[in-house]
Chains A and B, each alone.
Chain A
Amino acid sequence: MRSAWFGIATGVALAAALAFLTLPVVAIFVDSPPADLISALGEEGALDALWLSLKTTAAALAIIVVVGTPAAYLLATRRFPARALVITLVELPLVLPPAVAGIALLAALGPSLTFTTGAVVVALTFVASPFYLRQAQAAFASVDRSWLEASRTLGASEARTFARVAIPTAVPGLMAGGALALGRALGEFGATLMFAGSLQGVTQTAPLAIYQRFSTDFDAALALSAVLVAVSAAILLTAKLFGGWDAADRR
């Protein structure tokens, strides 16, 4: 009797969570007929915003992966003084509200970058990197130590071990981190607005464009949101498939 009750309770909890998380997303698509979606996309500025979002997010992600992967590897495999402190510092942007992140960037880099697309990339990189770093670090930490040691005894340098053993075996975790970072970057709003401003084609990313439209043209906001959801979902699925396929191939 007791176990049946527990099963039902947890089932209800899951159903509630699922409903809460999916309803808003579903509502976006339900509220806008496909014809509206397409025409809203053709509207002035919508495509610009989407393209800018994709460009800047891709650039931010490239920086994050190129710089963050070796950094995460070092954090995961070496003990050094103040390691715990360094980890806390790189995780800091995770807990900063976007507005605070914007202020922080202004305080550090001044207004010289404001109004440029580069500023958008900087803001996205800042808020999204901890998402990647944490996952990547966990992925490298879970790589079997003996594989890395075996690689060294077989004549491979630290760099070769990193590239030929650590990365291939950590790929599922790295992909997961990349997907999280990408999602965060794609949706960034507050820090971008404060640090870069909002101008069509230059700094007005999709979230900023949605915000501008929602007060006067709710349908356009819906349409743009729907497209953003679809793009994010597509990226997430691709990352999962890639990561999953690799995981099944291991051990």
Chain B
Amino acid sequence: MLRIAAEATLGDLELDVAAEVAAGECLALAGPSGAGKSSVLRVISGLLRPRRGSVACGERVWLDTERGIDLPPDERRCGYVFQDYALFPHLSAWQNVAYALTRLPRRERRPRAVELLERFGLGDRAEARPRTLSGGERQRVAVARALAVEPAALLLDEPLSALDARTRAAAGRELAAVLHAAGVPALLVTHDFQEAALLGDRVGVMDGGRIVQLGTAGELAAEPASPFVADFTGAVVLTGVAAPAADGLTRVTLDGGGEVTSPEPAAGPVAVTVYPWEIALAPRGTIDPGSARNHLDVEIVSVTAVGSRVRVGLAAPQPLAAELTGPAVTAMHIAPGQRAVATWKATATRLLPLTPQGSDEVRH
């Protein structure tokens, strides 16, 4: 069990976090850049000393400002995978890994290092210098090196962001397996919610130095605690003013035009969230105005293939997006400039109260 609590002032940012990660679990901290995510890793590893805080890993206390305990990084057995991997350029792959093996007698270091590399499929690249390795290979050497310490906890800083899109998916699956096999608490930071969802057993969304919501990826997506979290997890966010309606539902008048209905009670300025995969498109004039679905007149702005799905950008005039399959897009002859109707269930319409600052959080 890894426990951390820390308060620190970093330039303009006030960091104030607390979290627990169980052995074998991976907690992913996700948030925009500048949210303080990497600082959390630096506090845990001992590279940054917070104004106040404590870090404990299992039985061992690594940091406790109240009691004056502050172990230097080399005394905390914390495996750290840096954002650019930080492989030593003057050492070969196996030498990089062996750097952590000083507890072994000299003649055992190379075999053990090569063994670790082989686990990552890099046995034949053991003699290579980092500059001759591909991005994916470097990432694996970095992870192998961090594991060589036999760490009590694993820290990873944007482990997939330096990889190109194609390598990322495979590397992500590999890394998820490695994390589970390692059996130690793992803390990972990323700016990409999808990456966090893929690798983390739980996800913590960070903003402005604080963890604003903690839960599984599904919980965060289904019940975002704030428009910021909703936006960050990929939801469509529309703003408007809500008022209770005669039938017990809530009617929301959207800024810029349009009206939607939601079963959630609310009044005043609200953010309306719905997920792109919950939105369907239909040609104008085909919708029965009495149905229980929300309808919004939209203009098609863009059509983008994302993996096996197609993301259709829309304007109502507020921006939103629908996710459809390729065949559906072709069948409906969807193209930019056309007019259509976006529909989704009233029950899929979530409402979140909007503070005046909150409307700023919704990035349009």
Contact = CB atoms under 8 A, between A and B. Distances in A.
| Direct chain A–B contact by Cβ atoms under 8 Å | yes
Interface of A: 144, 146-147, 149-158, 164-165, 168-169, 246, 249-251
A144 B88 CA distance: 10
A150 B90 contact: no
B78 interface: yes
B135 to A, nearest CB: 14
B150 to A, nearest CB: 10
Q: Which of A147, A153, A250 has the most CB of B within 10 A?
A: A153
A249 to B, nearest CB: 7
Given A249-B129, A251-B89, 4 more contacts: A147-B86, A149-B80, A153-B80, A156-B102
B89 A169 contact: yes
A56 B243 CA distance: 91
Given A154-B99, A155-B100, A155-B149, A149 B88 contact: no
Contacts of B145: 154
B74 interface: yes
A147 B88 contact: yes
A149 B103 CA distance: 19
Contact of A150 (B76, B77, B86): B86
Contact of B74 (A147, A156, A246): A156
11 contacts: A149-B86, A150-B82, A151-B99, A152-B46, A152-B74, A153-B78, A155-B74, A157-B72, A164-B99, A168-B90, A169-B90
A151 B45 CA distance: 12
Q: Which of A152, A165, A169, A251 has the most CB of B within 10 A?
A: A152
A110 to B, nearest CB: 44
Question: What size tier do the contact residues of chain B reach?
Answer: 20 to 34
B75 to A, nearest CB: 8
Contacts of B84: 146
Contacts of A250: 89-90, 131
In order of increasing CB-CB distance, the 8 nearest A-B pairs are A146-B86, A152-B73, A150-B86, A153-B80, A154-B100, A168-B90, A250-B89, A251-B131
B131 A144 contact: no
Contacts of A156: 74, 99, 102
B45 A153 contact: yes
Nearest to B148: A154
B47 interface: yes
Contacts of A147: 86, 88-89
A144 B129 CA distance: 17
Contacts of A149: 47, 73, 80, 82, 86
Nearest to A153: B80
A78 to B, nearest CB: 14
Nearest to B155: A153
A152 B99 contact: no
Contacts of B73: 149, 152-153
Interface in B17-39: none
A165 B79 CA distance: 18
A148 to B, nearest CB: 9
A152 B77 CA distance: 10
